Amino acid sequence: MKTEISLTVNGEELHAFVEPRLSLADFLRDSLRLTGTHLGCEMGACGACLVLLTGTPVHACLVLAVQAAGQDVETIEGLSERGAIGDLQKSFYERNALQCGYCTSGMIVSAHALLAENMTPARADIRDALSGNYCRCTGYEAIVDAIETTAVRRKSQVEAAE
């Protein structure tokens, strides 16, 4: 039996009828065609499916769509369109911090959340923030570099503005 839910996705209010067993990730990908949220392990280990639920990163594979009722969901598409991660994307591109790109959405969601909380993370903080994100291509060094570069650039922009 389907359940009616109302929620906000990337700033847009939505109403939908969903099966209780439908994960938020499948709802985003299959019902809304927001395929930037990737599915890897579907058990909360790989971090490819991270989205923001009321501003904090969560695994969309471990949240049921019905549990997201009444809440704000933001995906990699929403972050990208409102310009929140343009500099992160640029640093990832410049530093070659992705090869196949499967993990990248999740990496960027984690990085975005880290930098929102800590403007000057040490490399150890960055690695800790990414501890739940698997990348099987890069060996992580380039990803940590790209996030570190973004943090430094953001800090110098803030200082220049002051």
Partner 1 sequence: MKPPAFDYLRAESIAGALSAFQEKDGDAVYLAGGHSVVPSLNLRLQAPSSLIDISAIDTLSGISRHDGWLRIGAMTRHVDVLKNPEIGKHAPLFQAAAPHVAHPAIRNRGTIGGSLSLADPASEFPAVALALRAEMEVVNPQGLRRVPADDFFIDIFETDMESGEILQAVWIPPVQAGQVHAFDELARRQGDYAMVGVAISGILLAGILSEIRIAFLSVGNKPTRAVAAEAALIGLPVNAAAIAVAQEELEKDLDPPEDPQLPPAARKHMARVLLGRTLTTLGASA
Instruction: Specify the residue, 4 or 161, whose C-beta has the smaller distance to partner 1.
Output: 4
Residue 126 found at the interface with partner 1 (CB under 8 A): no
Q: What does the per-residue mask of binding to partner 1 show for 80-119, with x meaning CB under 8 A?
A: ------------------------------x--x------
Instruction: Specify the residue, 84 or 90, whose C-beta has the smaller distance to partner 1.
Output: 84
Q: Which of 79, 129, 142, 146 binds partner 1 (CB under 8 A)?
A: 129
Instruction: Specify the residue, 40 or 90, whose C-beta has the smaller distance to partner 1.
Output: 40
User: Which 23-82 residues touch partner 1, going by CB under 8 A?
Assistant: 23, 26, 42-44, 47, 50, 53, 56-59, 61-64, 66-67
DSSP the chain: --EEEEEEETTEEEEEEE-TT-BHHHIIIIIS--TTS--SSSSSSS-TTEEEETTEEEETTTSBGGGGTTSEEE-HHHHHHTTSSHHHHHHHHHTT--SS-TTHHHHHHHHHHHHHH-SS--HHHHHHHTTT---SSS-SHHHHHHHHHHHHHHHHHHHHH-
